[in-house]
Amino acid sequence: MIGLVGTLWTVFRHALRKRATVQYPEEKAYLAPRTRGRIVLTRDPSGEERCVACYLCAVACPVGCIALQATEDEHGRRLPAFFRINFSRCIFCGYCEEACPTYAIQLVPDFEMGEHRRQSLVYEKEDLLIDGPGKHPGYDFWRVAGVAIRGKDKGEAEREAPPTDPRSLLP
């Protein structure tokens, strides 16, 4: 009986507590910098697209919402001809970001993507590309990996360091 009254009193006192609810449209909850939200394609410090159209993100995607087609520019560098993400399928798992070898595809803290038409949730490359390097400023995949184009192998250009040989790090 005492326990019963104590329970009622404890619950009653909760009326004076601070509310746990965040009244969403007016006040927004804090989103951590690494929140997995909308997907973007970033550029390297020189302003070029980082994506090399390796398809790893499309393979890693558990719901198959990423579609892309590889092509080459006049120097033989790989680029996506189109890059399409269907956000009505995307589950924001971040596997594409983990799979990406060039830090091109990244998830950003933004989830407010509501649309009235389903088709509006299909984002093309122009919609996905942002101007900056995202979470990895200063990283340039081609400077780390070296690039072989027609007439020049990796590390053969002027003022270009020879590429890192990962096997040299082995004991």
Partner 1 sequence: MMPLAILLGVVTFAGGLVWAERRLLALWQDRYGPNRVGPFGLLQVVADAIKLLTKEDWVPPFADRALFVLAPALVMVTALLSFAVVPVAPGIGVVGSNVGLLFFLAMTSMGAWGVVLAGWASNSKYSLLGGLRSAAQLLTYEAFMGLSLCGVVILAGSFDLREIVLAQRRVWFVVPQIVGCLTFLVAGLAAIHRLPFDLPEAEAELVAGYHSEYSGMKFAMFFVAEYVGITLISALSAVLFFGGWLGPVLPPIVWFFLKTSFFVGFFILLRAALPRPRFDQLMAFGWKVMLPVSLANLLVTGAIVLS
- Considering only 5-13, 27-35, 54-62, 144-152, which stretch makes contact with partner 1 by CB under 8 A? 5-13
15 binds partner 1 (CB under 8 A): yes
91 binds partner 1 (CB under 8 A): no
Within 22-41, which residues bind partner 1 (CB under 8 A)? Answer: 23
CB of 86 to partner 1, least distance (A): 31
Query: What whole-number distance in Å separates Cα of residue 14 and Cα of residue 149?
Result: 69
Report CA torsion sign: 43, 141, 86, 93: negative
Applying CB under 8 A, the span of 18-26, 89-97, 105-113, 127-135 interacting with partner 1 comes to 18-26
Minimum CB distance to partner 1, residue 89 (Å): 29
CA 34 → CA 14, 38, 105, 110, 134, distances in Å?
33, 11, 13, 10, 11
Q: Which residues contact 28 (CB under 8 A, 6 or more apart)?
A: 22
